[in-house]
Structure 1
Amino acid sequence: MKRRLYLLFPDAEFARRGVAALNQDGIETRRIHTIARNGESLEGLPGSTFEQRSDRLHQLERWVWNGNLTLFFIMLAGFFVAISYGAVVVATLLVVAMLVSFLAGERFTHLPDADFREVRDALAHGEIMLMVDIPESEVYRIEHQIHQQVPEARFGGVSWLPDTAAQL
């Protein structure tokens, strides 16, 4: 699984320096995506797709999380109904399904998570955000390198990124 590193820069010139530093560190330009408020000049910066600008991964994550919770509570209600009717086998299967649902949710909550809500104000004030798709093992190194080469950069967070989305 990849990580999406969010980096904020005061303006486009600093963002271009950040892109150059990332390229120098071996990050391909196609792994870098730029987000800014409407009307901001992004000349010389990598573009972003509609999906990246709309933060669809975070929306999908919320949908899956809420669906998992709903399913868990439906199974819990089903468990109490099965117990009240003496259907021990059904109750046991529901407990196993609830355990699987709980463990999936537990795993999901430990993934790093950031979304645009956390940087919306910065973008509204004219800052430029670079989203950098990198392997999990590279997050600390890349963040450190960027801060060394472009001290004006701010770390905006990190989120998970399925490998299939990182290929786009």
Structure 2
Amino acid sequence: MRHRLYYLLPDMASARRVLDDMLLNRVEVRYLHFISHREELGPDLPEASFLYKTDVVHGAQAGMLVGAVLGVVLAAAAASYFSPESPAPLAILITLVCTLFGAWSASMVAAALPNSRLKAFYPDLERGRILLIADVPARRVADIEKTMAERHPDIRFGGEAPEVPVFP
């Protein structure tokens, strides 16, 4: 299990130093994601993908839930109308189609919205700070937090998300 750590960095030079220290602490580069609203990130800093920057994951989750509920209601109505003796296959198919359609349509809408989980960081990002999202092993959280606090007094710890989903 991984924990997601958030750090606000003052500038590009600090971001590069933090990246070096994370790599020295054996955090793989694929688990480090930088977000900047003002400056263009250099080629050496791994930029966060749209899955981190937008609300597409949250939208897909909400859409699946709404689609599943709507699918169950439609399946019950269709099963009683079309096939009252064996409604299970039809009900499962309708529920599955509605769930997938809900996830797809809600994620398309949410792809245009900023990530709601990062809302607290947007004022700092607008002022030119850089956000680091680091997904680290749970057993290493204390060591990494201690190292970052000792070696980088200019960065601000932005919090921790204890359960990181497998898919961002």
Is TM more than 0.5 here? yes
Match of 1:12 in 2: 12
CA pair 9-47 structure 1, distance change in 2 beyond 3 A: same
- Give the counterpart letter for 1:142 in structure 2: I
Residue deviations 1:36-60 (CA, integer Å, cap 9, x gap): 12335x45852315x257625x412
Instruction: Tell me, in whole angstroms, the C-alpha distance in 1 between the residues paired with 2:132 and 2:121.
Output: 11
Residue deviations 1:41-94 (CA, integer Å, cap 9, x gap): x45852315x257625x41232122222331244256558879xxx69859xx8
Instruction: Tell me, in whole angstroms, the C-alpha distance in 1 between the residues paired with 2:86 and 2:134.
Output: 49
**RMSD of aligned residue pairs (Cα, Å):** 4.0
Instruction: Tell me, in whole angstroms, the C-alpha distance in 2 between the residues paired with 1:18 and 1:77.
Output: 52
Match of 1:39 in 2: 39
| Contact map agreement 1:34 1:45 (CA 8 A) in 2 | no
- Which structure 1 segments of 5+ residues have no match? 102-112
- The size of the alignment, in residue pairs, is 147
Instruction: Tell me, in whole angstroms, the C-alpha distance in 1 between the residues paired with 2:76 and 2:142.
Output: 45
Match of 2:102 in 1: none
* 131, 147, 154: which one aligns with 2:133: 131
SS at match of 1:7: strand
| Contact map agreement 1:7 1:157 (CA 8 A) in 2 | no
Tell me if 1:149 matches 2:151: yes
| Contact map agreement 1:19 1:45 (CA 8 A) in 2 | no
- Which structure 2 segments of 5+ residues have no match? 100-114
Instruction: Tell me, in whole angstroms, the C-alpha distance in 1 between the residues paired with 2:75 and 2:39.
Output: 53
Instruction: Tell me, in whole angstroms, the C-alpha distance in 2 between the residues paired with 1:128 and 1:134.
Output: 19
Q: CA deviation at 1:7?
A: 1.5
Tell me if 1:21 matches 2:18: no
TM-score by length of 2: 0.59
SS at match of 2:38: coil
| Contact map agreement 1:119 1:156 (CA 8 A) in 2 | no
CA pair 47-82 structure 1, distance change in 2 beyond 3 A: closer
Instruction: Tell me, in whole angstroms, the C-alpha distance in 2 between the residues paired with 1:78 and 1:30.
Output: 42
Instruction: Tell me, in whole angstroms, the C-alpha distance in 2 between the residues paired with 1:144 and 1:69.
Output: 42
Match of 2:104 in 1: none
Match of 2:164 in 1: 160
- Give the counterpart letter for 1:75 in structure 2: V
TM-score by length of 1: 0.59
CA pair 79-144 structure 1, distance change in 2 beyond 3 A: farther
